[in-house]
Amino acid sequence: MRLLMTLACHALAVAIVLHGAAAHAQPEADTWPQFRGHAGNGVSESVLPAELTLKWTYQADEAIDSSAAIVDGVVYVGTYAGTLLALDLETGAERWTYSTGDMGIGESSPAVAGGLVFIGDLGGMFHAVDTETGKARWTFATMGEIKSSPVIVGNRILIGSYDGFLYALAIADGEQVWKYETQNYVHATPAVWDGIAYFGGCDELFHGVRISDGEEVVNLSAGAYTAASPVIADGNVYFGTFDNEVVGIDLATHTLLWQYEHPQRHFPFYSSALATEGTIVIGGRDKMVHAIDAATGEPRWTFTTKARVDSSPAASGGRVYAGSSDGRLYVLDLATGEKLWEFDTAAPLVASPAIAEGRLVIGSEDGVLYCFG
C-alpha cells in the first residue's frame, strides 16, 4: 500500500458522547462486552491460569464465525444458522436462544449494554435482544448484509452494513440518529477515540466520523481494500490491509508513522490487531502471527501456524491467544513469540478469542463453542 494522505477536516463541535461515557456507564473491566473486548484493543484484564484446561463445550446448530461477548457470567455468540445463544459461563448450560429468522449470523459479534445484546445478521437486519428473556426489543433493517460488529458509545450503538453505510442508532429504541455513506461495503468494526469513530473501508479509504452528528472529519486514502478493524493506542491507529501491509497512522496529524510488510511472505491481513505494551500483534493470511513494534513498525517476532490466521488475537497477562484455520488455539509469549501451549479443535478457528472472568471462549467452524479456564 502506498498511502496518499488527503484530509477532510471540519471544526469539531463538542461531542455529546465520548468513549461511551454518556447514558450508560462503562462496563466493568473484567468483561468482554463487544468485539475486541472492554477497551477495544484486544486486551483483557482478566487473569487466566498458566495452564489452560477445557471447562466445557457446547454444540451449536451451525458454524461459529461470530466472536463471543462475556458479561455478568453469560456468554453470547451467534451461529450461521441465525441463532443467538446465551450460555452460562460457568457450566455452558443454555439460558436462552434467539432466532434471527432465515438469515445466518456471520462474523458480526454481539455487543452488550443496558440490558440488551445487539447482533447483525447476513440479511441486513440488526437486532436488539433482551438479555434476561431472549426476546427481541427492537430491530433495524439495513439494505445489505451485516458482518461488522456493533460498538457501544454512550446511548448510541454503531453498526456498519454492506449497503455502504455506517449507522448510529439509539440504544433505547433503535431510532436512526444518523448514517454516514461510504463508497463500498462497511465490513470493519469502528474503533472510537475522542468522540470519533475510525474505520477502514472496502472503498480503500480510512474514515473518521464524528459520533455526535455523523459528520466526516477524516478521509484518508488507505490505498487498499481494508477488512480488518483498526486498533487505537496512545493516539495512533493500526490496521492491516489487503495490500499485504500493516500501517500505523498518527491520529493527531493524520500522517503515516510506518508500513510493515513481511520481507518474504506477501499475503493480506484480514485479522484485526491487538495493541499492548508497545506491541501490535496481528494474524496474517501468510499463516503467521506477527508482532510489530508500535513505535517503529519493526518486526519483533513471528510465529508460524499451519493455515491462515483470520482470527483476531487477544492478550492477557503477557500472553497472546490466537486461533488459526489449522484448528488450533495457540498461547504465545508476548515478549518472544514462544509457543507455550496449544489445543487442537480439529476444525478451523475463524472466530476470535474472548477473555473475561477467568475464562477464554472461542467458537469453531464445526459449530463447537469451547470454554477454557
State percent of the chain over pLDDT 70: 92
Q: Judge whether residue 8 has pLDDT over 70.
A: no
Q: Average pLDDT, stretch 194-216?
A: 96
Q: How much is the pTM?
A: 0.92
CB 233 within 8 A of CB 226: no
Q: Average pLDDT, stretch 313-330?
A: 98
Q: Average pLDDT, stretch 225-249?
A: 95
CB 226 within 8 A of CB 242: yes
pLDDT of residue 224: 87
pLDDT of residue 57: 98
Bridge-based pairing of strands 205-210 and 216-221 is antiparallel
Overall fold of domain 54-372? Methylamine Dehydrogenase; Chain H (2.130.10)
pLDDT tier at 23 (50, 70, 90 boundaries)?
Answer: very low
Q: How many CB atoms lie within 10 A of CB 305?
A: 24
pLDDT tier at 221 (50, 70, 90 boundaries)?
Answer: confident
pLDDT tier at 175 (50, 70, 90 boundaries)?
Answer: very high
pLDDT tier at 28 (50, 70, 90 boundaries)?
Answer: low
pLDDT of residue 29: 76
DSSP notation for 265-331: ------SPPEEETTEEEEE-TTSEEEEEETTT--EEEEEE-SS---SPPEEETTEEEEE-TTSEEEE
Q: Average pLDDT, stretch 24-34?
A: 71
* Rounded distance between C-alpha atoms, residue 329 and residue 281, angstroms: 15
**Residue given cell 461459529 in the structure block:** 64
pLDDT tier at 223 (50, 70, 90 boundaries)?
Answer: confident
Q: How many CB atoms lie within 10 A of CB 141?
A: 11
H or E element that contains 371: strand 368-372
Q: Judge whether residue 4 has pLDDT over 60.
A: no
Q: What is the mean pLDDT of the chain?
A: 92
Name 136's bridge partners: 129
**Residue given cell 510493515 in the structure block:** 260
Q: Judge whether residue 19 has pLDDT over 80.
A: no
pLDDT of residue 102: 84
Q: Average pLDDT, stretch 346-350?
A: 98
Q: Average pLDDT, stretch 96-101?
A: 96
* Rounded distance between C-alpha atoms, residue 300 and residue 302, angstroms: 7
88: exposed, middle or buried (C-beta count within 10 Å: 0-12, 13-18, 19+)? Answer: middle
DSSP notation for 13-48: PPPS-STT-SSSPPPPSS-B-STT-TTSSSB--SPP
pLDDT of residue 10: 34
The C-alpha R_g of the chain, in whole angstroms, comes to 19
Q: Judge whether residue 318 has pLDDT over 60.
A: yes
Q: Average pLDDT, stretch 319-347?
A: 98
* Rounded distance between C-alpha atoms, residue 152 and residue 162, angstroms: 19
Q: How many CB atoms lie within 10 A of CB 204?
A: 18
Q: By mean pLDDT, which of 24-38, 171-185, 257-271, 277-291 is the weakest?
A: 24-38
- C-alpha distances (whole Å) from 315 to each of 99, 274, 275 are 32, 8, 9
Tell how far CA 266 is from the center of its chain: 23
CB 68 within 8 A of CB 361: yes
Residues 6+ apart with CB under 8 A from 234: 294
- Give the chain's length: 373
* Rounded distance between C-alpha atoms, residue 148 and residue 186, angstroms: 7
* Rounded distance between C-alpha atoms, residue 301 and residue 282, angstroms: 11
Q: Judge whether residue 325 has pLDDT over 50.
A: yes
- In the sheet with 83-88, reading across from the earlier edge strand, the strands are 69-71, 74-78, 83-88, 94-99
